[in-house]
Structure 1
Amino acid sequence: MTAVLAAPPLHRDRRRWAWGLGGLVVLGWSLAGAGLFSGPVLNPSGLRQFGRFAAAALSPAHDAEFLRVLAEATLVTVAYAALGAALAVVLGSLGAVAVSRTTWGRRRAGWTAVRGVLAVPRGLHEAVWGLLLVNVLGLDPWVGVLAIGIPYGAVTAKVFADLLDEVPRGGYEALLASGAGRGTAALYGLLPQAAGGLLSYSFYRLECAVRSAVVLGLIGAGGLGYQLALSFASLRWEQVWAAVYALAALCVLADVGGRAVRRRVAEPRSADGSRPARDRVLVVAGLGSLALVAWSWWFLALSPATLTSARTVDQLSYVLDAAWPPATEGDLLTAIGSAAVDTVQMSVIAIAVATAGAVLLSGVAARRPGTGPARWAAGLAVRLILLLLRAVPPPVWALVLLFVLLPGVLPGALALGVYALGVLGRLVAEASEEVDGRPRAALRASGAPPLGAWLYGVLPALGGPVLALALYRWEVAIRDTVLVGLLGAGGIGVLLSGRIAAFDWAAVTTVLAAIVLLTLAVDLVSERARAALR
C-alpha cells in the first residue's frame, strides 16, 4: 500500500497578525493625536500663498548675481559633506575594531557595553549636534564638519564592525597565534578582506553627507540650506526653487557617482576571475575623493588650533559643568513625556504616508526592459519627482505645508512623510525591479490588464521587502522628527530648541537622554517587528 504524503497544514503566524493589528491601532492612535478626527486641520487662507509657491517652480531665479551666490553656497555644502564623510570614515574605521564581535571574542559584556556607548552619538540627529557645537565653537566651519562626522562615525563604526564580522577569520586567527594584538590582527587580518564593502559604504555615506550638510545650513551653518532658509523667510519663491533645483542636481551627482562606485565594487575581478582587477573608475574615485577632501580643507580654512583654543576649552567646561547633574523637575518630565508622544505619532504617520505612496508609485518608477516610450517617460518623470522630494529637507516641506494646514503634529508628520516618500519610493522601486517577473508576464499573457498583473503578480512578492524597508525608515524618521521640531514643527525637538535657546543646560541633558532612549526604544521595536514579519 502506497503511503500518501499529506501537505503540511497552513500555519497562521499569530505574531504576524498581532504586529499587523498593533501597527494599525498605533496608526489610528497617531492620526487621532494629530487632530484628524477632532476638528479642522486645513488653513484655507494659505492657499493663495501656496499657489504662488507652486507657480514659481516654472520660473526659478536665474539672474547672474543670485546664481553666483548659489554656486558659492553649493561649494560650501560640498566641502562640509566631503570633510564630514571623511571624518566619519576615519572614526568608523577606528571604532569598528573596538566594537567588532570578532575582536572581543567571548567577552560579551565588554562588547555590549561598547556598543551601548556607541548608541549615544548615533541616537542624536546631525542638527542636534550642530546646535550643541555652535554653543562651544561659535560660528566656525568645524561645527558643520563635526556635526556630520560624529554621528555618522558612530553609524559607520557599527556597519564596518558588522562587515568585519562577516569576513573569513583565518588570517586574523593566524596573526593572533603569532603573538599579534587583537587590534593589529584586525587591522591586517580583517580589514583587507572587507575592503570592498567598506569602500562601497564609504561612498554611500558621502551621498548621505550631502543631504546632512544641507540640513545643517538650515540652522545657520552656511551652504545651500542656509540660502534656502533665507529665500524662504523672505518669500522669494523663485529663489527657493532655484536652490531646490541646485540641491536636486547635487543629489543626482552624489547618487549617480556613489551607485557607479558600488556597482564596480560588487564586481571587482578581471575577466577570467583569477585576480582582482585595477578598476580605473575606482582608482579615479579614490584619488578624486582625496583631492576633494584636501580642497575642502583649504576652502573652509579649517584650523585644528580652534579645537584646542583657550576659548573652546573654557566654553566646553562651562557647558559640561552646567549640564550636570540633569534636571529632574516634574514639569520638565511631563513636558518630555508629552513631546515624546507627539514625536512617535509624527513618525508613525510619516512612515504610513511614505509606505503607501512608495507602493503606489513603485510600479511606474521601476525600470523594466522592453517598455515603450510612454512608459519610459512616465517612469523617468516619477523618479525625478521622487528625487525632488528627498532633495528638499523635511523642515522646508513643513514650512510649505503650514500654508495649507493648521499648526500641530500633522504638518510635521506629512513633511517627514513627503521626504521619506522620496527615499522609500526609490528603494521600493528597486525592490520591485528584483521581483521575479514571470508571474506578472503570465498574467499579462492571459489577458490581464497592466494594473491587475502588477497587483497580483508583483505586489504580493513586495510585501516582505516593503515592510522591512518601512521599519528601517521608521528608525530614521524618529530622529528626523527632532529635526523638524528644532524648527518649530512640533515634537520633542521644539522642547530641545527652547531649552538650548534659554541656555538651560541641565534640562538639555535630560531632553537629550530622553531622545536617545526614545530612538533606542524605536530601534528595538522595529527590530522585533522585522523578526516577526520575516
Structure 2
Amino acid sequence: MTTVLDRAVPPAARLARDRRRWAWGLTAVVLTAAALAGAGLFSGSVLNPGGSAQFGRFATAALRPELDPGFLSVVAGSALVTVAYAVLGGGLALVLGAVGAALVSRRTWGRRRSGWLAARGLLAVPRGLHEAVWGLLLVNVLGLDPWVGVLAIAVPYGAVTATVFADLLDEVPGGGYEALRAAGAGRGTAALYGLLPSAAGGLLSYSFYRLECAVRSAVVLGLIGAGGLGYQLALSFTSLRWEQVWTTVYALGLLCLLADVGGRAVRRRVAAPPSPGPGRDPVLTTAVGIVVALVAWSLWFLALSPAALVSARAREQLSYVASAAWPPSTQRSLLADVAATAVDTLAMSVVAVVVATAGALLLAGLAARSPGAGPVRRAGGALVRLVLLLLRAVPPPVWALVLLFVLLPGVLPGALALGVYTLGVLGRLVGEAVEEADRRPREALRAAGASAAGAWLYGAVPALTGPVLALALHRWEVAIRDTVLVGLLGAGGIGVLLSARISAFDWPAVATVLGAIVVLSFAVDVVAERARAALR
C-alpha cells in the first residue's frame, strides 16, 4: 500500500530505499543461516537423551516449590539484598547518566562534531562490557565489598543512560536553549532551563524503565557471588534442589512483576495528557517518594562506606591490575582464540534474536491487552504475560544449564538460553507495540467477515513489521553483551575465554579480550543502527 509519505518521496529515492531494504533483508537471511550452522544445528545430533529424566524432575518441581518457613526466610533476605543493589545501582546510574548527557549531547558540542564523536566514543567502553564483567573486575580491586554490586550496575547503566538522555535532550525543541545561550547563559544553565522541562516526561519514563532493568542485573550479579536471589538460585541449582530453585524463580518473578507494574504505571502517567487542575500528579509524586525512601533504606541496609573506594588496599589493587594489564597481550594463540570465540559469540547472539523475534511475533497478539475482550481472552493474555515475565526473570546462564539437560554442550544451548530470556523481554515490548498500534484496519477486516487470524495477519502485521524489527535490532545490541555473561559461566563464546584468563590472573590477556568485546559490541551497535535507518 502506498502511503502519503511514500508519495511525497521521489521515485528514485524510493527505489534506492527499497534496494537498501532488500540488501539488508538478504544479509539478515545469510547471517542467520551462517549462525545456525555455526551453532551446530546442521552438523549432527544436538540432543542429549540421557538428560531427559533430570529435565522432567526439574519441570515437575514447578508445581511443588519449597515452602519451608526457614527457606522462605532465606529467600526473603536474599530478595532484600537484590532490591538494595538494584535501587542503589540504578539510582547511581541515573545520576551518572544525567551528568554524562550534558557531555555527549549534540547541542552541548554545537558544530564541534569531532569533540562530540570523541565523547560518544568514550561511552562505548563502559557500556560495551556486561555488568557481570564489571563485577568480576571490581572484585579484584575492592574485594567482596557491597560497592562491587552497586558499581557493576551503575557504570554500564550510567553510560547507556547518558546516551539515551542526550538523545532525548537533542529531540526536544531548542528555541529556549538557544535564547538563553544568546542571553549569555552557560551551556549547563541553558540546558537545565531551556531543554530539561520539555524532556522531563521522557527522562522520568526512561528512569523507571532503567530501575526495572536494574532488578534483573542485580540477580545476574548474584550468580557471580555478589549475594541476593541470584546467589541463592545458583546454590539451589548446583545442589539439584529443584523445589528450592522454583521458589527462588517465583520470588524473582514477583520482584520483576512489582518493578514492571510500577514502571508501567509511571510511563502511562507520563504519556497521558496533563491534568487541567493545579498541583502535582499524585501518582508520580508517590513513585518518586518511594524511590527516594528505597535509596535511603538501601544505603542503611548495605552499610556502604565511601572510604572503601579510596582505601589504601583499593588504590594498590587498582594500580597493580592497571599496570599488569598494560600492554595488552598480542600472542598469536590468544588472538586466534579471540577470533574463534568472537565468531561463536556473534552466532549465539544472532540465533538468540531470531528465536526471540519469531516467538514474540507468535505471542504478541495474546500478550497485548485487548479492550473489550472476553474473559477467556483476558485469562489467556494474563497467562502469556506471566510466562514472559518468568522467562525474563530467570538469568540466561540458568536457562543454559537447564537446556544442557536435553542438549549436548556447545554454542546452541547458550544461544537458545539467550533466546528464551530475550523472548521474555521482546515479547513484552512487542505486546506493548500491538497495544499502541492503530486497531482500525483489523476492525475493518473483521467487520468485512475476515477471521481473527486473517485480520491479524493482514491488518496488524504489516504495520508492526518496522517497529518489531527495530526492537529486535535493539535487543541484538543487548544480546551481544549477554552472550559474554552466558560464556562467563561456561556456556560458550568469548565469555569462556575471559573467565579463564581472569581465573589465571593473566591481565595482559584479559585486556586483549576486553578490547575485543568492546570492539565487537561497537560493531554490532553500528550495524544495527544502519539497519534501523534502512527500515525508516
- 1:250 aligned to 255, 271, 288, which one? 255
Give the equivalent residue in structure 2 for 1:59.
64
In 2: Cα distance, 1:445 partner to 1:286 partner: 45
Give the equivalent residue in structure 2 for 1:434.
436
Letter matched to residue 314 of structure 1: E
CA shift, 1:263, in A, is 1.6
Give the equivalent residue in structure 2 for 1:308.
310
Give the equivalent residue in structure 2 for 1:196.
201
Give the equivalent residue in structure 2 for 1:88.
93
- 1:408-487 equivalent positions in 2, closer than 5 A: 408-487=410-489
Which deviates further from its counterpart, 167-176 or 401-410? 167-176
CA shift, 1:185, in A, is 2.6
Matched, 1:123 2:128: yes
Which deviates further from its counterpart, 207-216 or 106-115? 106-115
CA shift, 1:268, in A, is 6.2
- 1:181 aligned to 179, 186, 194, which one? 186
Give the equivalent residue in structure 1 for 2:530.
528
Letter matched to residue 62 of structure 1: L
Cα gap change, 1:268 to 1:143, in 2 (>3 Å): farther
**TM-score, with length taken from structure 1:** 0.96
- 1:224-235 equivalent positions in 2, closer than 5 A: 224-235=229-240
In 2: Cα distance, 1:94 partner to 1:315 partner: 28
In 1: Cα distance, 2:320 partner to 2:311 partner: 14
In 2: Cα distance, 1:166 partner to 1:29 partner: 38
Give the equivalent residue in structure 2 for 1:491.
493
Contact 1:347 1:416 in 2 (8 A): yes
Give the equivalent residue in structure 2 for 1:331.
333
Letter matched to residue 87 of structure 2: A
In 1: Cα distance, 2:441 partner to 2:178 partner: 48
Letter matched to residue 52 of structure 2: L
The CA RMSD measured in Å over matched residues stands at 1.5
1:267-307 deviation per Cα after TM superposition (whole angstroms, max 9, x unaligned) = 362226xx6x4011111111211111011011001000000
SS at match of 1:13: helix
Percent of residue pairs bearing the same amino acid type? 76
CA shift, 1:176, in A, is 2.6
CA shift, 1:160, in A, is 1.1
- 1:267-346 equivalent positions in 2, closer than 5 A: 267=272, 269-271=274-276, 277-346=279-348
CA shift, 1:310, in A, is 0.4
Give the equivalent residue in structure 2 for 1:78.
83
Matched, 1:373 2:375: yes
In 2: Cα distance, 1:366 partner to 1:425 partner: 9
Letter matched to residue 232 of structure 1: F
- 1:49 aligned to 49, 54, 58, which one? 54
Which deviates further from its counterpart, 445-454 or 237-246? 445-454
Which deviates further from its counterpart, 461-470 or 58-67? 461-470
In 2: Cα distance, 1:532 partner to 1:200 partner: 27
CA shift, 1:168, in A, is 3.0
SS at match of 1:367: coil
Letter matched to residue 234 of structure 2: A
Contact 1:416 1:480 in 2 (8 A): yes
1:101-144 deviation per Cα after TM superposition (whole angstroms, max 9, x unaligned) = 11111111111111100111011110000000001001110000
1:308-348 deviation per Cα after TM superposition (whole angstroms, max 9, x unaligned) = 00000000000000010110010010000000000000000
Letter matched to residue 225 of structure 1: G
In 2: Cα distance, 1:198 partner to 1:113 partner: 24
In 2: Cα distance, 1:433 partner to 1:460 partner: 15
Matched, 1:400 2:402: yes
**TM-score, with length taken from structure 2:** 0.95
Letter matched to residue 112 of structure 1: L
Cα gap change, 1:87 to 1:459, in 2 (>3 Å): same
- 1:94-243 equivalent positions in 2, closer than 5 A: 94-243=99-248
1:199-237 deviation per Cα after TM superposition (whole angstroms, max 9, x unaligned) = 221111110100000000000000000000000000000
Give the equivalent residue in structure 2 for 1:382.
384
SS at match of 2:173: coil
Runs of 5+ in structure 1 lacking a partner? 1-6
Which deviates further from its counterpart, 84-93 or 179-188? 179-188
In 1: Cα distance, 2:201 partner to 2:365 partner: 32
1:460-499 deviation per Cα after TM superposition (whole angstroms, max 9, x unaligned) = 2221111111111111100100010000000000001111
Give the equivalent residue in structure 2 for 1:4.
none
Give the equivalent residue in structure 1 for 2:32.
27
SS at match of 2:408: coil
In 1: Cα distance, 2:60 partner to 2:528 partner: 40
Which deviates further from its counterpart, 21-30 or 427-436? 427-436
- 1:69 aligned to 63, 66, 74, which one? 74
Contact 1:268 1:279 in 2 (8 A): no
Letter matched to residue 14 of structure 1: R
Which deviates further from its counterpart, 197-206 or 323-332? 197-206
In 1: Cα distance, 2:200 partner to 2:374 partner: 41
In 2: Cα distance, 1:366 partner to 1:178 partner: 49
Letter matched to residue 218 of structure 1: L
SS at match of 2:198: coil
Letter matched to residue 69 of structure 1: V
In 2: Cα distance, 1:369 partner to 1:196 partner: 26
SS at match of 1:339: helix
Give the equivalent residue in structure 2 for 1:40.
45
In 1: Cα distance, 2:468 partner to 2:268 partner: 23
Aligned length: 525
